[in-house]
């Protein structure tokens, strides 16, 4: 069913996980106000911004709850040379802070501020147009309401929908642009996506419908009123905006040891299942898991097929040992295990010091994945993690038959696409900067979930 328009020739697929950086080269008096001349990242074009532009951006970001270091306004003496120089330094500190913050750096507000040409599109409107075309081709579906900004991806939008034949059931439709890691042919991608509704695994959340075109993808699943595992940990409502929910949550709570062991074992079983099938995942995090009857169910297993970069890619590019989709899954599992244990992600990675916790068996597994030594020399495999005391004796009670038949031709195509994804990652790892403790901005540490990326020395990626 071709419900989406054709992809335009030469269309550039941006990796939105790559944080934009910006250097304020100068500040100049212009008529009755001062402007700052910004040079974002690799771009040669200078961007001109007034203080009021920074103030407007800051007001929009306040929903995050993060303490942002924007220099204060000054009505008198704001044309003084010393004040202008001081403000320029303050605005640079502000830019560095928001572009090195895991969540803020990837939001459209910040991207558009620094790169208007590539980030001015109204993706909600585009998604509505595409979804409307799909509904015209399959009129049994109806939009109940848009779920605005509930996810972190700029080019992915969600809609609460219903099937007219079952009007009381609520389902979620996700629409997303294909990403820079899309290496399957259009035909192979379409064929693989159509297999997803037939996948049977007790720890994978089922897909109702999936379809793609050359431009975008559309997936439908049942809606979970209680939200995701991260919603549970942060005690927030699933329909709230991602920044509001997760940047600086007020009430966080880690899980009990038995929950950690059970959920951890179930998730590792999913990873083993996908790895055995040769199916690349790479998108494990707490917002991609739902809990149903004390059972973890993983979401968005289609993301790698669609070429979407990982949520943790800004971290992964720092460590050359994390260079396969399998190692990405293990690394992501380490982040998830930390979050389940402490109720929040680590402030920085590698992690060599851990907050006090009564269950030391968890810490030993975390050390094997997130420590400096693990990140530099290599992490355990999924099979090895399953043999650790933390997970080896966890009993699983699901007896349903696992089913996911991938034809040989598609399996070969998936293998080739996986190798291409890994090659692009390895090439990026050769040129990226090195993250160091972000001590000059203590607000990042205090912001809880806001202080995920602790800072970056400018390298060849700037």
H/E element holding 273? Answer: helix 257-276
Beta strand pairing call for 22-30 and 33-40 = antiparallel
The answer to whether the CB of 295 falls within 8 A of the CB of 346 is: no
Give the model's pLDDT for residue 42: 62
Q: Which of the pair, 435 or 290, is modelled with greater confidence?
A: 290
State if pTM tops 0.75: yes
Contact status, residue 171 vs residue 162, Cβ threshold 8 Å = yes
pLDDT of residue 78: 60
Among 230, 294, 287, smallest CA distance to 265 is for 294
Query: Partners of 40 in the beta sheet?
Result: 22
Q: Is the pLDDT of residue 220 over 80?
A: yes
Residue 264 has pLDDT above 70, yes or no: yes
Tokens of 371: 């420590």
Q: Report all structural domains of the chain as residue ranges with CATH numbers, in order of start.
A: 22-119 (3.30.1520.10), 123-429 (1.10.510.10)
Angle separating helix axes 408-429 and 325-342, nearest 10 degrees: 70
Of residues 353 and 213, which shows the higher confidence score? Answer: 353
Q: Residue 48 — pLDDT band, cuts 50, 70, 90?
A: confident
Alpha carbon 18 to its chain centroid, in Å, reads: 11
Contact indicator for 406, 191 with CB cutoff of 8 Å:
no
Let me know: does 201 contact 273? Beta carbons within 8 Å.
yes
Q: Which helix (H) or strand (E) holds 364?
A: helix 360-370
CB atoms within 10 A of CB 234: 26
Residue 405's Cβ-side half-sphere holds a number of Cα atoms within 13 Å equal to 3
pLDDT of 184 higher than 60: yes
Spell out the residues 6+ positions from residue 373 whose beta carbon is closer than 8 angstroms to its own: none
Q: Which residue intervals of 36-182 are DSSP H helices? A: 51-61, 81-99, 108-114, 116-119, 123-137
pLDDT(333) > 80:
yes
State the pLDDT at residue 46: 82
Cis peptide before 447 (omega within 30 of 0): no
Q: How far is CA 434 from CA 81, 260, 299, 440, 457, in A?
A: 35, 32, 31, 16, 6
Q: For position 360, what pLDDT does the model report?
A: 87
Q: How confident is the model at residue 397 (pLDDT cuts 50, 70, 90)?
A: confident
Mean pLDDT of the chain: 87
User: Does residue 31 have a pLDDT over 90?
Assistant: no
pLDDT (0 to 100) of residue 439: 31
């Amino acid at each position: 069913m071709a419900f989406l328009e054709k992809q335009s020739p030469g269309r550039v697929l941006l990796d939105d996980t790559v944080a934009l950086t910006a250097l304020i080269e100068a500040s100049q008096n212009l008529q009755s106000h001062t402007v700052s001349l910004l040079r974002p990242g690799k771009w040669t074009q200078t961007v001109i911004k007034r203080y009021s532009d920074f103030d407007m951006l800051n007001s929009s970001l306040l929903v995050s709850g993060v303490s942002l270091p924007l220099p204060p306004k000054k009505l008198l003496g704001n044309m003084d040379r010393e004040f202008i120089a001081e403000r320029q330094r303050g605005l640079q500190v502000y830019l560095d802070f928001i572009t090195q913050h895991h969540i803020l750096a990837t939001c459209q507000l910040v991207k558009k501020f620094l790169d208007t040409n590539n980030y001015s599109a109204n993706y909600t409107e585009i998604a509505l147009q595409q979804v409307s075309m799909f509904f015209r081709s399959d009129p049994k579906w109806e939009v109940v309401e848009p779920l605005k900004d509930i996810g972190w991806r700029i080019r992915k939008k969600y809609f609460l929908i219903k099937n007219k034949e079952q009007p009381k059931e609520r389902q979620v439709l996700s629409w997303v642009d294909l990403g820079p890691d899309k290496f399957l042919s259009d035909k192979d991608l379409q064929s693989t996506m159509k297999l997803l509704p037939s996948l049977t695994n007790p720890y994978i959340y089922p897909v109702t419908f999936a379809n793609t075109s050359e431009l975008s993808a559309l997936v439908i699943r049942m809606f979970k009123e209680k939200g995701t595992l991260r919603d549970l940990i942060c005690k927030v409502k699933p329909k709230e905006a991602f920044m509001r929910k997760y940047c600086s949550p007020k009430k966080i709570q880690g899980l009990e040891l038995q929950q950690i062991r059970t959920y951890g074992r179930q998730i590792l079983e999913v990873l083993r299942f996908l790895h055995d099938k040769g199916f690349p995942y790479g998108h494990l995090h707490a917002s991609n898991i739902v809990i149903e009857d004390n059972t973890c169910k993983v979401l968005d297993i289609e993301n790698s097929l669609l070429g979407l970069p990982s949520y943790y890619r800004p971290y992964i590019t720092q460590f050359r040992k994390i260079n396969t989709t399998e190692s990405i899954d293990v690394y992501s599992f380490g982040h998830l295990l930390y979050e389940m244990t402490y109720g929040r992600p680590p402030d920085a990675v590698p992690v060599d010091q851990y907050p006090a916790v009564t269950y030391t068996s968890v810490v030993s597994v975390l050390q094997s994945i997130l420590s400096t030594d693990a990140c530099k020399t290599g992490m355990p495999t999924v099979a090895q993690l399953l043999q650790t005391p933390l997970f080896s004796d966890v009993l699983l009670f699901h007896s349903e038959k696992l089913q996911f038949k991938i034809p040989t031709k598609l399996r070969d195509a998936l293998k080739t696409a996986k190798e291409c994804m890994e090659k692009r990652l390895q090439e990026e790892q050769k040129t990226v900067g090195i993250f160091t403790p972000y001590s000059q901005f203590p607000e990042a540490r205090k912001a809880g979930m806001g202080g995920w990326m602790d800072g970056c020395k400018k390298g060849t990626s700037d």
